Structure 1
């Protein structure tokens, strides 16, 4: 029997959390208040959410990424497709929410950051393993 990694659990939990956050009706969104001073705060949130999402899924699939590196860009592209789909969900299925192309751009930037960070971490992790061996 194959040993399964527990690393998929944080990625799945974060995915469910992001679905919840992206489908909160507009009238139920909290007032930002303290963060009004941060320009484009919503876009920073999107970048962070999608960067974390890509990074967590990359860590969950790190063994596959080492043997097949093309999985990492696939993870990033699937996360971006999810972000685009969620904009349509917000437009057509969530009250008081709308489609925003700049959210998609922020999602894409977050996916790229998550991809880059995962590459850096996995490269370091792999080089440390090589030094030990």
Structure 2
């Protein structure tokens, strides 16, 4: 069964939200020393990109074994999107900078999202397996 187009509204909204958050002027982001100490920024990047992959894969969850390569493609897209956003920050966003550790956090989050949706899809496939 093919996913309905409306199923892609949440991931597209999330994609736009990520863009908006990661291109906010640096001066608009409050500085809190405690959050810097626990690398809060990296955790945010990880969570944003994990959810991005999960949401884009979710409409295909019931077709899991056949859609495995699609899940991987979505994950690669998310990693490339994270890298591209770092360049956007470097060249176009005010008071933002290029940060390789943000790219690593984005890639790590994308991988976590892939692992999460794969786990969920596998459980759904096992549950729906004919006896």
User: Who is 1:10 aligned against?
Assistant: 10
User: Who is 1:21 aligned against?
Assistant: 21
Tell me the SS of whatever aligns to 1:61: helix
TM-score by structure 2 length?
0.89
Q: Alpha-carbon deviations, 1:7-45, whole Å to 9, x = none? A: 211111111111100110111113447x52761110000
Counterpart Cα distance in 2 of 1:51 and 1:3? 21
Counterpart Cα distance in 2 of 1:66 and 1:32? 45
Counterpart Cα distance in 2 of 1:72 and 1:65? 9
CA contact 2:3–2:59 (8 Å) conserved in 1 = no
CA distance 1:73–1:23, shift in 2 (3 Å)? same
CA distance 1:3–1:26, shift in 2 (3 Å)? closer
Instruction: Please list every run of 5 or more consecutive structure 1 residues that lacks an aligned counterpart in the other structure.
Output: none
Matches within 5 A, 1:64-75: 65-75=64-74
Q: Alpha-carbon deviations, 1:55-98, whole Å to 9, x = none? A: 11110333554423211111000000000000000000000000
Counterpart Cα distance in 2 of 1:37 and 1:80? 24
Instruction: Please list every run of 5 or more consecutive structure 2 residues that lacks an aligned counterpart in the other structure.
Output: none
CA distance 1:78–1:130, shift in 2 (3 Å)? same
TM-score by structure 1 length?
0.87
Q: Runs of 4+ in structure 1 displaced over 6 angstroms?
A: none
Q: Tell me by how many angstroms 1:105 deviates.
A: 0.5
Q: CA RMSD in A?
A: 2.1
